[in-house]
């Protein structure tokens, strides 16, 4: 055997090593994919996100908390809007705390009369009664959800999977 034959072909060796590792990696990946993918559900048996909450005239003036939907329903005369009760920080349910008396304040450069505010029990975030976060760690305002009138029986419908702007009002 000549010396040239004995010499290790490092280029070929490293290529074969890389090839083997590559095939091994691809094998591991394709082997684990079904296991991981099966853990990401295709069907969610979760409660519906769109609720009938009752006839508009059954709600009293002011604020009402709809526990099941975790939504605050506001009624001013015949105008309705719905604000999510889920804190934009880490998902605790915020609590509406009414003021002793109405306050006039400037929110988002608008002069408004405010009757209360939202407090979060988990990390102390505070929100104006139209959802603007003004204290604590909450990074975003509270979400507003669209309201509509159900065509079949005239009940209010709230869709908590959808969001609307903070000027949304449903006038009945």
Binding residues (CB under 8 A) for another protein: these are: 39-41, 44-47, 65, 67-68, 70, 89-93, 95-96, 119-124, 133-137, 139-140
Euclidean distance between the first and the last CA atom of the chain, given in angstroms as a whole number: 98
Q: Are 56 and 156 in contact (CB under 8 A)?
A: yes
**For another protein, the closer CB: 132 or 155:** 132
**What is the closest distance, in whole angstroms, from the C-beta atom of residue 95 to another protein in the complex?**
6
Adjacency order of strands within the sheet including 110-119: 95-107, 110-119, 126-128, 133-135
Of residues 26 and 120, the one with the C-beta less far from another protein? 120
CB-nearer residue toward another protein: 73 or 170: 73
We find the least distance from the C-beta atom of residue 33 to another protein, in angstroms, to be: 14
* Closest by Cα among 95, 37, 20, 103 to 63: 95
Q: How far is the CB of 4 from another protein (least distance, A)?
A: 32
Which of residues 17 and 97 has its CB atom nearest to another protein in the complex? 97
Is the CB of 140 or the CB of 169 nearer to another protein?
Answer: 140
> Least distance to another protein from the beta carbon of 21, Å?
18
**Which of these, 152, 156, 153, lies nearest to 172 by C-alpha position?**
156
What is the distance of C-alpha 140 from the center of its chain?
11
Q: Give min distance, CB of 97 to another protein, in A.
A: 9
Q: Following DSSP, what letter does each residue of 75-113 receive, concatenated?
A: EETTEEEEEE-B-TTT-PBPEEEEEEEEEEEEETTEEEE
């Amino acid at each position: 055997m000549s010396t040239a034959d004995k010499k290790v072909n490092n280029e070929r060796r490293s290529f074969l090593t890389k090839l083997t590792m590559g095939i091994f990696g691809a094998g591991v990946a394709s082997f684990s994919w079904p296991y991981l993918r099966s853990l990401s559900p295709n069907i969610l048996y979760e409660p519906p996100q769109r609720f009938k909450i009752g006839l508009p005239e059954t709600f009293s003036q002011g604020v009402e908390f709809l526990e099941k939907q975790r939504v605050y329903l506001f009624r001013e005369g015949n105008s309705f809007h719905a604000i999510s009760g889920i804190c934009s920080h880490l998902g605790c349910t915020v609590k509406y705390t009414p003021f002793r008396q109405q306050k006039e304040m400037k929110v988002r450069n608008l002069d408004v009369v405010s009757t209360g505010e939202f407090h979060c029990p988990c990390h102390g975030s505070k929100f104006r009664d139209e959802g603007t976060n003004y204290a604590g760690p909450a990074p975003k305002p509270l979400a507003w959800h669209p309201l509509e009138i159900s065509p079949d029986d005239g009940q209010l419908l709230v869709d908590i999977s959808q969001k609307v702007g903070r000027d949304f009002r449903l006038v009945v």
